[in-house]
Every structure is written in C-alpha cells, then in structure tokens.
Structure 1
Amino acid sequence: MSPDNEVIERSIREPAVFDELYGRHATPVYRYAAQQLGDHAAEDVMSETFLVAFERRSAYDITVQNARPWLLGIATRLMRKHVRLEAVSWKGMSADLAAQITPDFIEQAGARIDAKRLARRLAKALRRLSESDRETLLLYAWGDLDYASIALAMQVPIGTVRSRLNRARRQLRRAAGTETIEQETDHGRVDASPQHT
C-alpha cells in the first residue's frame, strides 16, 4: 500500500486515485467532526473536507507521508465556519467530554461533587478556552494526533501546540477543582503554587 503522500502525488495525474485517501481517512475525519457537531453536520464537514483536499491536492507537502493531520486541519477550519458549531457542539457533549478528556478529574472529584455537575463545569471551562486552545485540545483528545501532527494540522510551531495544551489542561484542572500545590512546568518556568484567576 502506497503512503498517503504518494497517493496524493499520483492523484494529480490520475484523479480517481484520490479515492484511496478517502477510504483511509474518511472515518477518522467523520468521527472527529461528529464528536463536536453531531452526526448530521459531521457528514457535511467530512464531505467538504475531502472536496477541499481534492481541490488543493497539488499544494500538499509531499514530504509528509501521513495526510491525516492535513485533513483534520482542513476539517477544523471548516468547522470554524460552520454556523451551528457552538449551538450543536456543546449539546450533549458534557458527559462524553468528561469521560474522554478528563476521566481522572471525575474520579478525583467524585468524592466531593457528582459527575454531572463536574461535566457542566468542564463544558463551561471548555467554552471559555480560546478557540485555538480548544481546537488544539480536541485535535489531541478526539483527533488522536500527537503534538507534531497537531502542529501540522493547525500550521503552527510545535512549541505553540505545547503551550496551548498546557494552558487548556491548567484551565480544565482548575474547573475540575483538582489543581494541587504540585509544581507545574510551563515552558521552562516552574510555578510552585497553583494559578488563580
């Protein structure tokens, strides 16, 4: 099986070959969009992602073998434009999000508050994250991308990905009430105490 970059390169001469890329990555792109937008909107985002990718395939960086970060980056930008993003993405997501991104938070907070209340607090904290921090966190948690792949998807340096994830994790820990006096490293800076807003 040819790597993605070879498929994309061949598809410039033979457009029908692009279908191989669809077969490999349609499901992960759909799942990523569905977790944020719901099934109906995810179908539209997935279809449009591959349409955009097909149209821009000649601009793909052929040195990158795996096209999934590129495709999830396109999907992320399309979801930003999606009119119903905020209204649909948070509906019914709280419990699922708490289970997927922060299961340890639920366990730690379980003795103090019930999981439903914690899920509402985490969803509220997620809404308060900047768009770029939230998208970075969701690409990591739901897109199942590593830091380097997120950097490719969002077209930012890997240090920016680390910074965004660190900031998002701190805010979620604060919302979950699990911030401790343990030291937290932030780009070479060590804080001996938790940060408060």
Structure 2
Amino acid sequence: MDPDEDLLTRAAREPDAFEPLVDRHSTALHGYLVRRAPAAADDLLSEVWLQAYAHRSTFDAGRGSARGWLFGVARNVLARHRQAAARAADRPQPPADAAPGDPWHAVDARLDAAAVAPDLRAGLAGLPEAERELLLLVAWEELTPAEAAAAVGIPAGTARSRLHRARARLRDGLSATTRTTLTGDPA
C-alpha cells in the first residue's frame, strides 16, 4: 500500500496520521488552485483541508490513490467556489473603484431607491391584485414562479403568464428616468 493511502486510511482512526498528508500535498494542491482561482487559492486550500479531514473516513484505496482523492476534494471545493461566485455575480456589486468598507456605494443605492420608490409604488398599485401578489412573492420573498403559483393556488403556467404581464405593465408604466435608474440603460 502507498504510504499516503496508509496515512489516509489510518487517519480515520488516528487523526494525527492526517498531518503528514497536509505537509506532503499542500504545495501541489495550492498550485492547482492558484492556476484556477488565483485570488482565492489560499482560502480554498484551507477549505480543501477542512473538507478532506472531515471526510477522511470516506477514502477508499480501492477506488484510487490518496493523491487523486485529495485532488477530487480540491476540485469539488473549487466547483462550489465557482458556483457561489456565479450566484454573487447575479447580485448587484459595488463599483470596482469603491474602497472596501466604503459606505458611499450603499448611500448612492439608497438615494437611487428613494428616487424611484414613488414611481414603483404607483406602478405596483396600478397592477391587478393577482399580478401584484405574484410579482411581490417572486421579487421580495424570492420564491420561484412555481412556488409563488402554489402559494396563491394557481397553475405554474398561469403564474408565469401573469408574471410576464405584470413585469411588462410595470416596465411600461415607469418613467424613462426610473427605467434608466433601475437598469442602467437609457430607455
């Protein structure tokens, strides 16, 4: 049996047997992570070792080497990191020139929201109740259209149609200034 495989197998019973694996494989795993996510490599390496240690009892020498298993853990950690980054990219981000801890982006966002709030309130008030409720369940409560449909007791297809209509009516009812503020694109 390979010494690493022996260490990993023993680590399930003897936690101290795990430490030599960290010493032996950290450089290679760090290099793997640096090539794929340079800015996050150090943090990801820490997560790799936490996950590997937590799941050390799942290692099966019959399925491959300890080194391969560790790179599999690294690959999974990297995949979760990329998924989280993709989700974060869907949320509004502060401008690139904003300093960390700079409160002005938040102040700007609140001022923009305050400026468009009356227009949005009027647009929402003008929607039929059924459309407004669906739109708010999706936008504020973060339900999927299918979940919102279940919440109001209608078929999912009907909910999607109503949501489409509600968004179109709301968009059409907003002033050009508000649409530009909300989307960043001229109307």
Alignment TM-score, normalising by the size of structure 2: 0.41
Q: Higher helix fraction: Structure 1 or Structure 2?
A: 2
Q: Which has the higher contact order (CA 8 A, sep 6+)?
A: 1
Tell which structure's C-alpha radius of gyration is larger.
2
